Amino acid sequence: MKKKNNPIKDFSTEEKIKTAAREVFTQKGYAATRTRDIAEKANINLALLNYYFRSKEKLFEMIMMEKVQKLFGIIAPILNDSQTSLEIKIQRMVDQYLEMLTGQPDLPIFVLSEIRNHPERFASQFNIKKMVLESHLVKQLQEVRPDLSPFHFIFNLLGLILFPFIGRPVLETTGKLNPRVFGVMIEERRQMIPLWIKAMLEVKSQAK
């Protein structure tokens, strides 16, 4: 029999809190968010929030890792697929990222800003050396361009995918970038990014 002072948690309430926390943390960031802000957004009292999540830090770590997993979790299976060519890997990364980010456009700026502020949290959860630098994609890349640093490749590819979503708020202030125009642009980039990456791989470095 359950003790009266240890009630069964209502998972709909827990999910309501997490949904509110995702929105508030995304808008304000960790430092500027108060647990009271999350409670008000979830339309519950602060005591109930504290019952489910003992601290802002614990709640943030849960939300943060969910978002990091969404942003970076799709990479590993693609990078380490030994059955696909480098060209197919690039196209799949572009397709999956653009599809995900179209539905969650605030995801990159939130995750990247928090990684910058707390890189140790990210490093403790993801083995970047194994996931990226020791991946099948990097082996394929070295066969094609042994002179090219894999960091250049990854930074260029992710930059081409992510930056439109990061820079969108600024460009919208021009009055020239509305949701329809942005959607068309993203679909164009779905075709163009693999071509840009292919061109980059075909140009030999002149750096000494």
Please give the residue that has the higher pLDDT: either 6 or 194. Answer: 194
Residues 98 and 129 in one domain: yes
The answer on pLDDT for 139 being more than 90 is yes
Maximum pairwise Cα distance, the chain = 74
Please report which confidence band the pLDDT of residue 184 belongs to, taking 50, 70 and 90 as the band edges.
very high
The structure tokens listed for 196 are: 């840009």
Q: Is 1 helix (H, G, I), strand (E, B) or coil?
A: coil
Domain count, the chain: 2
* Percent of the chain predicted with pLDDT > 90: 41
**DSSP conformation class of 84:** S
Q: Do 21 and 82 share a structural domain?
A: no
pTM of the model: 0.75
* % of residues, the chain, pLDDT over 70: 89
> What DSSP character marks residue 148?
S
Find the CATH number of the domain harbouring 97. Answer: 1.10.357
pLDDT band at 26 (very low <50, low <70, confident <90, very high): confident
What are the pLDDT digits (tens) for 41-55? 999 999 999 898 888
The pair phi, psi for residue 74, each rounded to 5°, is -80, -10
